[in-house]
């Protein structure tokens, strides 16, 4: 902003802090200008440049043409040195440590070493698969997994992302929907001191060729099917290659698919969302603009390539010049925290449930996290007290909240280091993102009015999906959405609140709302209050049920306690929840039922399955499910 602010905003420009909101609004109105600037800041190399930034002349459907006619290989962009990002061949690209090696120095790969490893794997891929094949990755996010991911894209194949926690049935679904021809996996997952079988799940889920990486040591520890390959045998296919560490990238149009990711749907087949070469540019640009990812940073975020945060993290590092830090093990304990300390992590990403575990177990006490300059959080609603604890571990560094989706390749609302940040709150729409908040009739609230409603995104969203492999894209994201200023809004499904101070809070999904006494509210809003009702509460979940035919919705609060061995007085808990809701939310909301459970059902990406809890409670009360 210091470089471009005066030119773009004229006399309205004051300084980067005071003028940030004005610049964000400018980026929404003039996305072409903004993206021309960003492309110069990221490590993007075109073989053939775009004829323009945005072509909106397409009159059919909701598909914009971003960077039309450009040709590149986005993996190559990750692997080349560059002046704009201050990337050098000698610079450290990846830092990692294996679980159980916490007293040893961290491992590292330079950019040159990473490029050579990726090119060797790309050569081996050509000896094993046909160009254009979809190839799955189902393994922990390790340095080897990152090399495999980049090699698949560099060589012109398509990555199919599968989380390593999935059961065989879920693996089968994703392999079938994506039409994958092979899969990279591990024999075992080493996590939290336990050895968890993975290859056995994979071969139960798919007959496709599996290439098996050892979870520890140099050799796999299990017998493979005849048509499968060990990692060493796979790499041996290039031993006769005259230049195994050199590879000519496969250049493709900007809208070529490089990755198939899946939504964490709870019913039916999950949505198969194709990422094109635009998607990495979008997610890296948002990391650059909102959390200041740049050369010299060491960026760690416990995640998996099977979830959208995995590719986002990968590209956010390699396209901005930051170093990727990976812990090969469980992030729940002190060993992970020591890696953060020893690696000199400067940017740490989390999910709220992970922070809650650290705080309650006190496992991070005594560690030095003061090199961290920025924290980030995504995945679910943050707890303010947990955020305060996390920030205190780093010397009270800011936490940038991020909320988006796989289909957006980014966050539509975030925080910004150029604005004061509130715990558990978002301070701004992301750059170039416009949205409105809709009332129950689908009418947008005024932009300066505090309100709660479903978000409607402006449709010109660089990097967002325009098709699905197994569903009607327009039906899911556009049908039934209102028109605003001549644009049909894009559906996202979040209920958000705009506060009097201009901050935003996410109140859950549209299908997690409830009507209590004629007042519409959300599960997340009630849970935030109930989580503070008693010091012994670990977490709560709020759902509503109807116990009579067509009767009013009744509030059920389920709780997981910190000490699960004690007997809890349900009436006392109900009284505490009721008092907390009356004092902090709304005195008209009545808690009808309370239940203590051992744990909550969650998706593999850790999202709370309130729908499952609601169905369980309805079954318990002998109520027919609502159609």
Q: Tell me the CATH number at 123.
A: 3.40.50.12780
Where does the pLDDT of residue 370 fall: very low under 50, low under 70, confident under 90, or very high at 90 and above?
A: very high
In this structure, are 233 and 168 located in the same domain?
yes
Supply 319's token pair: 């396209």
Domain span holding position 1: 1-31
Instruction: Report the distance separating Cα 86 and Cα 82, nearest Å.
Output: 6
Does residue 445 have a pLDDT over 50?
yes
In this structure, are 26 and 94 located in the same domain?
no
Is 83 domain-assigned?
A: yes
In this structure, are 11 and 142 located in the same domain?
no
Tell me the three-class secondary structure of 467-480, residue by residue: CCCCCCHHHHHCCC
pLDDT attached to residue 376: 96
Does residue 548 have a pLDDT over 60?
no
β-pairing verdict for 257-262 and 272-276: antiparallel
In this structure, are 206 and 355 located in the same domain?
yes
In this structure, are 147 and 272 located in the same domain?
yes
In this structure, are 8 and 137 located in the same domain?
no
Does residue 534 have a pLDDT over 50?
yes
Instruction: Report the distance separating Cα 418 and Cα 247, nearest Å.
Output: 41
Please state the pTM of the whole predicted model.
Answer: 0.86
In this structure, are 320 and 210 located in the same domain?
yes
Where does the pLDDT of residue 276 fall: very low under 50, low under 70, confident under 90, or very high at 90 and above?
A: very high
Mean pLDDT, residues 553-578: 91
pLDDT attached to residue 626: 39
With beta carbons less than 8 A apart as the criterion, state whether 455 and 437 touch: yes
Does residue 375 have a pLDDT over 70?
yes
The overall average pLDDT reported for the chain is: 91
Instruction: Report the distance separating Cα 96 and Cα 325, nearest Å.
Output: 6
pLDDT attached to residue 608: 86
**Residue 137's Cα: distance from chain center in Å?**
17
**Residue 20's Cα: distance from chain center in Å?**
25
CA angle 199, 200, 201 (to 5 degrees): 90
Is 568 domain-assigned?
A: yes
Instruction: Report the distance separating Cα 112 and Cα 90, nearest Å.
Output: 7
Does residue 303 have a pLDDT over 90?
yes
How do residues 510-529 score in pLDDT, each as one tens digit?
A: 777 777 765 667 788 799 88
Supply 4's token pair: 């471009």
pLDDT attached to residue 519: 67
Does residue 549 have a pLDDT over 50?
no
pLDDT attached to residue 267: 42
Query: Can you give the CATH number for the domain in which 528 is found?
Result: 3.30.300.30
Residue with token string 């560059």: 82
Residue that is last in its domain, among 353, 375, 404: 404
CA angle 265, 464, 51 (to 5 degrees): 155
With beta carbons less than 8 A apart as the criterion, state whether 70 and 46 touch: yes
Does residue 623 have a pLDDT over 80?
no
Residue that is last in its domain, among 386, 404, 422: 404
Q: Where are the beta strands (DSSP E) in 279-355?
A: 298-300, 323-328, 347-350
For 610-618, the CB contacts below 8 A with 24+ separation are 610/508, 610/512, 610/523, 610/541, 610/542, 610/543, 611/266, 611/511, 612/266, 613/541, 613/543, 613/558, 614/543, 614/544, 614/545, 617/543, 617/545, 617/556, 617/558, 617/593, 618/545
Is 308 domain-assigned?
A: yes
Is 18 domain-assigned?
A: yes
Mean pLDDT, residues 10-30: 94
In this structure, are 88 and 232 located in the same domain?
yes
Where does the pLDDT of residue 554 fall: very low under 50, low under 70, confident under 90, or very high at 90 and above?
A: confident
Mean pLDDT, residues 8-14: 90
Is 440 domain-assigned?
A: no
With beta carbons less than 8 A apart as the criterion, state whether 33 and 435 touch: no
Where does the pLDDT of residue 59 fall: very low under 50, low under 70, confident under 90, or very high at 90 and above?
A: low
Where does the pLDDT of residue 550 fall: very low under 50, low under 70, confident under 90, or very high at 90 and above?
A: very low
Is 111 domain-assigned?
A: yes
Is 489 domain-assigned?
A: no
- CB proximity list for 146: less than 8 A, separation 6 or greater: 94, 305, 314, 324, 326
pLDDT attached to residue 567: 85
Does residue 449 have a pLDDT over 90?
yes
Mean pLDDT, residues 483-500: 92
Mean pLDDT, residues 296-315: 96
To the nearest whole percent, how much of the chain has pLDDT over 70? 96
Residue that is last in its domain, among 364, 382, 404: 404
Does residue 97 have a pLDDT over 80?
yes
Where does the pLDDT of residue 23 fall: very low under 50, low under 70, confident under 90, or very high at 90 and above?
A: very high
In this structure, are 8 and 155 located in the same domain?
no
pLDDT attached to residue 492: 92
pLDDT attached to residue 73: 98
How do residues 406-433 score in pLDDT, each as one tens digit?
A: 999 999 999 999 999 999 899 999 999 9
pLDDT attached to residue 226: 95
In this structure, are 25 and 119 located in the same domain?
no
pLDDT attached to residue 327: 97
Instruction: Report the distance separating Cα 162 and Cα 158, nearest Å.
Output: 13
Does residue 228 have a pLDDT over 90?
yes
pLDDT attached to residue 465: 95
Give the count of domains, the chain: 3
In this structure, are 197 and 248 located in the same domain?
yes
Does residue 478 have a pLDDT over 90?
yes
How do residues 156-198 score in pLDDT, each as one tens digit?
A: 999 999 999 888 888 999 999 999 999 999 999 998 888 999 9
- CB proximity list for 73: less than 8 A, separation 6 or greater: 47, 153, 154, 156, 249, 250, 251, 252, 277
Where does the pLDDT of residue 240 fall: very low under 50, low under 70, confident under 90, or very high at 90 and above?
A: confident
- CB proximity list for 384: less than 8 A, separation 6 or greater: 423, 424, 528
Does residue 474 have a pLDDT over 80?
yes
Is 427 domain-assigned?
A: no
Where does the pLDDT of residue 132 fall: very low under 50, low under 70, confident under 90, or very high at 90 and above?
A: very high
In this structure, are 166 and 265 located in the same domain?
yes
């Amino acid at each position: 902003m210091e470089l471009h602010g005066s030119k773009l905003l004229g006399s309205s420009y004051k300084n980067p802090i005071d003028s940030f909101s004005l610049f964000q609004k400018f980026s929404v109105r003039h996305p072409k200008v903004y993206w021309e600037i960003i492309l110069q800041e990221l490590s993007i190399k075109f073989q053939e440049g775009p004829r323009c930034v945005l072509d909106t002349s397409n009159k059919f459907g909701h598909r914009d043409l971003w960077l039309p006619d450009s040709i590149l290989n986005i993996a190559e962009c990750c692997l080349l040195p560059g002046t704009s990002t201050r990337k050098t061949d000698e610079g450290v690209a990846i830092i990692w440590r294996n679980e159980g090696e916490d007293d040893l120095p961290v491992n590292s790969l330079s950019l040159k070493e990473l490029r050579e490893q990726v090119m060797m794997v790309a050569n081996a891929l050509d000896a094993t698969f046909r160009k254009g094949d979809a190839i799955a990755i189902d393994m922990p996010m390790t340095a080897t997994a990152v090399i495999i991911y980049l090699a698949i894209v560099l060589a012109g194949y398509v990555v199919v992302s599968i989380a390593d926690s999935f059961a065989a049935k879920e693996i089968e679904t994703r392999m079938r929907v994506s039409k994958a021809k092979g899969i990279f996996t591990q024999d075992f997952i080493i996590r939290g001191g336990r050895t968890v079988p993975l290859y056995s799940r994979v071969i139960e889920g798919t007959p496709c060729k599996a290439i098996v990486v050892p979870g520890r040591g140099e050799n796999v520890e299990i017998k493979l099917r005849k048509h499968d390959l060990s990692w060493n045998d796979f790499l041996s296919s290039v031993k006769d290659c005259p230049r195994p560490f050199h590879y000519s990238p496969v250049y493709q149009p900007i809208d070529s698919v490089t990755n198939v990711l899946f939504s964490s749907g709870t019913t039916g087949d999950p949505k198969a969302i194709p990422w094109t070469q635009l998607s990495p540019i979008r997610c890296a640009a948002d990391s650059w603009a909102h959390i200041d990812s740049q050369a010299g940073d060491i960026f760690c975020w416990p995640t998996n390539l099977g979830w959208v945060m995995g590719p986002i993290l990968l590209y956010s590092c390699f396209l901005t010049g930051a170093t990727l830090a990976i812990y090969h093990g469980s992030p729940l304990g002190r060993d992970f925290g020591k890696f953060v300390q020893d690696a000199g992590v400067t940017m740490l990403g989390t999910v709220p449930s992970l922070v809650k575990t650290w705080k309650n177990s006190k496992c991070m006490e005594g560690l030095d996290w003061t090199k961290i300059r920025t924290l980030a959080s995504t995945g679910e609603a943050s707890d303010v007290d947990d955020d305060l604890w996390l920030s205190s571990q780093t010397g009270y560094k800011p936490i940038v909240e991020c909320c988006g989706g796989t289909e957006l390749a980014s966050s539509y609302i975030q925080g910004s280091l150029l604005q004061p940040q509130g715990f558990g709150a978002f301070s701004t729409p992301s750059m170039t993102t416009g949205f409105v908040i809709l009332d129950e009739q689908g009418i947008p609230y005024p932009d300066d009015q505090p309100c709660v409603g479903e978000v409607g995104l402006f449709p010109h969203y660089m990097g967002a999906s325009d098709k699905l492999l197994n569903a009607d894209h327009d039906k899911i994201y556009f049908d039934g959405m209102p028109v605003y200023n001549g644009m049909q809004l894009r559906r996202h499904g979040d209920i958000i609140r705009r506060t009097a101070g201009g901050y935003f809070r996410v109140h859950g999904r549209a299908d997690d709302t409830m009507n209590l006494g004629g007042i519409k509210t959300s599960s997340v809003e009630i849970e935030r209050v109930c989580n503070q009702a008693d010091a012994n509460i670990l977490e709560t979940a709020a759902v509503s049920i109807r116990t009579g035919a067509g009767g009013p919705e009744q509030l059920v609060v389920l709780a997981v306690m910190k000490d699960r061995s004690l007997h809890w007085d349900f009436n006392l808990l109900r009284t505490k929840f009721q008092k907390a809701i009356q004092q902090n939310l709304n005195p008209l909301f009545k808690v009808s039922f309370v239940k203590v459970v051992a744990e909550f059902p969650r998706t593999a990406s850790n999202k709370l399955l309130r729908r499952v809890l609601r169905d369980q409670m309805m079954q318990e009360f002998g109520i027919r499910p609502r159609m």
